[in-house]
């Protein structure tokens, strides 16, 4: 009897131990099941970074720069402080190498860019569409290209490079300045050392008889000052005035030879990491910031040119349609070459939009 009792007690102890152990382990595996029942009450907080980097090639004082600053402010406001975009001007995240910004956003090393289509084109050829020589005669024509949906093809191309386009801003029509002489005909450009950016601009300047020199924007002012280059080309209100280019340049010709659009874009993985409500808030910030940015880029052009003439002593030349013709004829082969690279369908859609605006 005694032995039986001892066996019974030992067996009960073992059973108790087993039950306790099982209880513990089942308690351990229960957690996910408990968690699984929680979300119906409250959605999990999105995983947001403490800072999202936005790169720009220019200073915050430029009209372009102001657009980046406005976007960051509005993102903060519309997301109730949840998303913090920090603006990095002057291509500082890429050591001044302006063409590298798009690939850095593509890889995710940088989150956002407010970037000129000129700087994007060496990475994504479709982006040369806006800058094709003498494509746009007016702001109305530019607006038509965006409103008609022709420019959507560029944002579609952006998606293939792991980026999402949020909106179009404006650097503006690029006008040419130099220190040697007034430019009224292609002959006046002969041999002038003109700083440019992309292969398309190099080809344009060569076709016009100038001597193009590729250089990052960060080096331009000093190079003009030291006379290493004779001239450059950039928008008046957006860049020439805020960067005080008039201090180192005597002549400017308004020839509207190339239009420079800005694309506000984000890395696709970053974009997909945002929940829908935050995506909508960021998109609204992009719409409002780019509307504002375009307004300030277009405002004050007449006054700005007047100021360059009177206060700054620049010789500002306006060309008649007749005077523009020889320039347009010389760059026609360059237009055709880059239209091929952009894609003829895209260029046709741009040209059709331009035709409706005239």
Catalog residues that contact ligand X2X under the rule CB under 6 A: 57-58, 98, 116, 118-119, 171, 197, 217, 234, 239
Helix axes 321-342, 344-357, angle to 10 degrees: 150
Min. distance of Cβ 74 from ligand X2X in angstroms? 23
CB of 322 to ligand X2X, least distance (A): 28
Nearest residue (CB) to ligand X2X, 201 versus 274:
201
> Nearest distance from residue 289's CB to ligand X2X, in Å?
18
Which residue lies nearest ligand X2X, judged by its C-beta?
Answer: 217
CB of 116 to ligand X2X, least distance (A): 4
| 118 vs 189, beta carbon nearer ligand X2X | 118
Nearer residue to ligand X2X within complex by CB, 58 or 263: 58
Complex with ligand X2X: residue 115 or 281, whichever CB lies closer: 115
Q: E-strand spans in the chain?
A: 52-55, 85-88, 112-116, 163-178, 193-196, 211-214, 231-234, 251-267, 315-318
Instruction: Please say which residue, 79 or 198, places its beta carbon nearer to ligand X2X.
Output: 198
Contacts for 128 with CB less than 8 Å, ≥ 6 apart: 117, 121, 198, 200, 338, 341, 342
**In angstroms, what is the minimal distance from the CB of 266 to ligand X2X?**
19
Structure tokens at 215: 């250089």
Q: Which is nearer to ligand X2X, 217 or 350 (CB)?
A: 217
Q: What's phi and psi for 17, nearest 5 deg?
A: -60, -45
What is the C-alpha to C-alpha distance for residues 340 and 336, in angstroms, rounded to an integer?
6
Tell me if 289 sits within 8 A of 167, measured CB to CB: yes
* Angle between helix 276-298 and helix 63-78 axes, rounded to 10 deg: 150
**Residue 234: φ, ψ to 5°:** -165, 165
Q: How far is the CB of 98 from ligand X2X (least distance, A)?
A: 5
């Amino acid at each position: 009897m005694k032995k039986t009792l001892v066996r019974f007690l030992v067996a009960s102890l073992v059973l108790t131990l087993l039950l306790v152990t099982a209880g513990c382990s089942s308690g351990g595996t229960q957690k996910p099941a408990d968690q699984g029942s929680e979300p119906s009450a409250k959605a999990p907080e999105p995983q947001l970074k403490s800072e999202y980097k936005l790169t720009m090639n220019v200073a915050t004082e430029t009209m372009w720069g102001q657009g980046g600053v406005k976007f960051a402010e509005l993102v903060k406001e519309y997301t109730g402080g949840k998303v913090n975009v920090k603006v990095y001007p002057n291509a500082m995240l890429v050591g001044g190498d302006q063409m590298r910004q798009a690939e850095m956003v593509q890889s995710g090393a940088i989150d956002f860019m407010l970037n000129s289509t000129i700087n994007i084109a060496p990475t994504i050829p479709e982006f040369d569409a806006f800058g094709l020589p003498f494509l746009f005669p007016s702001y109305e024509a530019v607006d038509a290209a965006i409103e008609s949906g022709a420019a959507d093809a560029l944002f579609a191309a952006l998606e293939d490079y792991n980026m999402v386009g949020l909106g179009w801003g404006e650097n503006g029509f690029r006008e040419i300045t130099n220190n040697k002489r007034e430019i009224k005909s292609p002959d006046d450009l002969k041999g002038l050392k003109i700083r440019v950016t992309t292969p398309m601009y190099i080809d344009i300047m060569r076709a016009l008889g100038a001597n193009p020199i590729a250089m990052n924007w960060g080096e331009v002012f000093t190079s003009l000052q030291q006379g290493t280059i004779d001239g450059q080309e950039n928008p008046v209100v957006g860049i020439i005035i805020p960067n005080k280019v008039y201090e180192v340049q005597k002549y400017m010709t308004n020839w509207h030879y190339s239009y420079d659009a800005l694309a506000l874009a984000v890395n696709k993985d970053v974009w997909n990491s945002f929940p829908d409500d935050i995506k909508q808030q960021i998109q609204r910030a992009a719409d409002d910031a780019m509307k504002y940015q375009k307004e300030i880029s277009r405002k004050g052009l007449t006054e700005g040119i007047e100021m360059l003439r009177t206060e700054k002593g620049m010789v500002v030349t306006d060309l008649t349609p007749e005077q523009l013709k020889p320039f347009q004829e010389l760059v026609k082969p360059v237009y055709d070459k880059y239209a091929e690279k952009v894609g003829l369908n895209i260029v046709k859609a741009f040209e059709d939009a331009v035709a409706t605006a005239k």
